[in-house]
Amino acid sequence: METLFTDVLCIGAGLAGERVAIEAASAGFDAICLSIVPARRSHSSAAQGGMQAALGHCAMGADDGPDVHFQDTVKGSDWGADQEVVRLFVDRAPEAVREMAFWGIPWNRVVPGSSIYFKGGKEYEKVEATEKEGFITARDFGGTAKWRTCYTSDGTGHTLLYTMDNKVVELGVTVHDRVEAIALIHDGETCTGAVARCLKTGKLRAYLAKATLIATGGYGKIYRETTNAVINDGGGAIIALDTEVVPLGNPEAIQFHPTGIVPTNILVTEGCRGDGGTLLDVNENRFMPEYEPEKEELASRDVVSRWMTHHIRQGLGVKSPYGDHLWLDIRHLGEHHIKTKLREVEEICNNFLGVDPITQLIPVRPAQHYTMAGVRTNKDGAAYGLKGLFSAGEAACWDMHGLNRLGGNSLAETVVAGRIVGEKIVEFLQGYEVQYNTGVIRNTVTKQEERIKSLISGKNGNERVYEIRNLMQDELMERVGIFRNGTDLQQAVDNLQEIYARAQKVGLRSNGIGVNPELTLALKIQGMVKLALCTAYGALQRTESRGCHAREDYEARNDRDWWNRTLATWKEGDDLPTLNYEPATETVELPPAERGYGVCKIISCDGEVIGEE
């Protein structure tokens, strides 16, 4: 079998993985990135709206700074975030945006003079300062006090990823595309690389590395209705969980984005609302001002998604063969704005819906979008449980998002965390030597070879992998969605345990030769159901409502009992994760308080009940 050696193995070549590789390569270390698709097709490329960084150049961002960004992010997280990490992040975000500009991003720039903008369907005027001409500008996004989201039209993730990958090529970093890591190589204490399957030939390969990074993004595909790409099925989280020692942080923290289009769940950016778009119901009435008089359509995503679901439950959704939905209205922004600032949205609506957003309404409803959950790391990006293992980006729970991420903070996290974790890996590698244990490597490879053989021969059974996946997705969709309650969650856990038992009996229908797509999924299905169980079980145990986790039977945010982070590990042979908890944050710069949007019901740290009717 082919065996390759490197200093840093980045599993995942989206923005976070490549940024780490760049940092390592710049310091003279050898880096290899693995990607299951050509690097530039990674899901980072689908991020549309922008990247938050407090530059404060544009008129509506005047007097912005890292402190305001800090407050917005902690409030957005519903105080679930690690505040030391948030501070690290906000302080370095402006530099990250400028570095990306230096590397080639065509950020939209400040145009001096008077211009109109829309808020809540009404026109306002703003005047951009002449002395700021040509600096990087920003747009408005949900849950922010200032216009802070830097952008290139609505293709920000695309330009960031292309520029990042250009830098990777300039530095000569190796990218092995169409390679999927299927197991980490470790002895329970130290991680020394991964076993991977080549998706051009189907052959296994061992990558031995001093430092291994998981940067595989989120895993929205455990849900049926998700904005995520086909590839976001949790490969990195699964191999971490399989180690039995590396925990996932806050597996119950799953974000729903307010504006997935119906029926395909393709995302249309929050920039639509940031730029002044509104949400309408069946009567074409705006309903958000009634629920959120202050923030209206631009409350945080968890809050807007909940109100939309609530409004549909009131019978005010628009009926369709694909279930009820609401409307997103950007018509008033005008043709010029849509054709320059919302180009992807225009294309998506025309291509997939046959809707022209310049003259017509866009059918939308909340869809799964982001996993705040991820491989738990410390502030340096080092994973809990295994030396030599790191994680960054959406794959990680670093944890700057807590129970809800703000729009524009994920692109920013990939680039900022990529740099910080990259620096820490470089520090880690100074003088670090590792011994490769051939027995451990052999065992890991043999175990994977046997799994493949069993799936092909049908030794364990002949359950169909697609059926198991569909059952899992439906279960999460039905019972572990936007609103949750104890009865449904318990049911979900019970059902998922049955599904997990069946997942262990999957056998292939096809011959499994080469790059067989059925085998690719079958190798992951048990892991995916484990992730689903972590989500459902974590949600069942968390008897409070915080950020995206809204319990109908425990409506208050409970800072006395639940100001903490779930840590889920999985022991081999179990059919439930083991849950532990740690404080959400050791550093408290901003003590828990009201967010300023959403339903305010809080049990404070000293047990005082705030906002109870």
Three-state SS for 8?
A: strand
| 65 vs 263 by CB, closer to another protein | 263
Find the Cα–Cα–Cα–Cα dihedral 352, 356, 358, 363, rounded to 10°.
Answer: -60
Contact between 559 and another protein per CB under 8 A = no
| 104 vs 591 by CB, closer to another protein | 104
* Residue ranges in 101-140 that form contacts with another protein under rule CB under 8 A: 101-104, 106-111, 133-137
| 36 vs 529 by CB, closer to another protein | 36
Residue 273 falls in the annotated catalytic set: yes
Contact between 46 and another protein per CB under 8 A = yes
Are 400 and 77 spatial neighbours (Cβ–Cβ below 8 Å)? yes
Contact between 214 and another protein per CB under 8 A = no
* Binds another protein by CB under 8 A, chosen from 119, 224, 286, 343: 343
Are 71 and 431 spatial neighbours (Cβ–Cβ below 8 Å)? no
Residue 337 falls in the annotated catalytic set: no
Contact between 201 and another protein per CB under 8 A = yes
Bridge partners for 377 per DSSP: 383
If one counts every other C-beta atom within 10 angstroms of the C-beta of residue 579, the result is 18
CB within 8 Å of 480: residues ≥ 6 apart = 254, 488, 489, 492, 532, 535, 536, 539
Instruction: For residue 277, give both structure tokens.
Output: 């778009």
The 134-173 site mask, x for binding another protein (CB under 8 A), equals xxxx--------------xx-x--xx--x--xxx-xx---
* Residue ranges in 562-601 that form contacts with another protein under rule CB under 8 A: none
* Binds another protein by CB under 8 A, chosen from 19, 43, 295, 401: 43
If one counts every other C-beta atom within 10 angstroms of the C-beta of residue 181, the result is 25
* Binds another protein by CB under 8 A, chosen from 510, 578, 580, 587: 510
Catalytic residue among 148, 197, 257, 401: 257
Helix axes 517-541, 465-479, angle to 10 degrees: 30
| 511 vs 580 by CB, closer to another protein | 511
Shortest reach from residue 395's CB to another protein, in Å? 17
How far is the C-alpha of 217 from the C-alpha of 523, rounded, in Å? 18
Instruction: For residue 540, give both structure tokens.
Output: 């069942």
Task: Point out which span in 36-44, 245-253, 273-281, 384-392 binds another protein (CB under 8 A).
Answer: 36-44
Contact between 269 and another protein per CB under 8 A = no
Are 528 and 538 spatial neighbours (Cβ–Cβ below 8 Å)? no
Are 572 and 70 spatial neighbours (Cβ–Cβ below 8 Å)? no
Residues in the interface with another protein (CB under 8 A) total 72
How far is the C-alpha of 152 from the C-alpha of 285, rounded, in Å? 31
* Residue ranges in 181-200 that form contacts with another protein under rule CB under 8 A: 199-200
Contact between 501 and another protein per CB under 8 A = no
Bridge partners for 286 per DSSP: 280
Contact between 40 and another protein per CB under 8 A = yes
Residues for the chain: how many in total? 613
Task: Point out which span in 290-298, 370-378, 504-512, 532-540 binds another protein (CB under 8 A).
Answer: 504-512
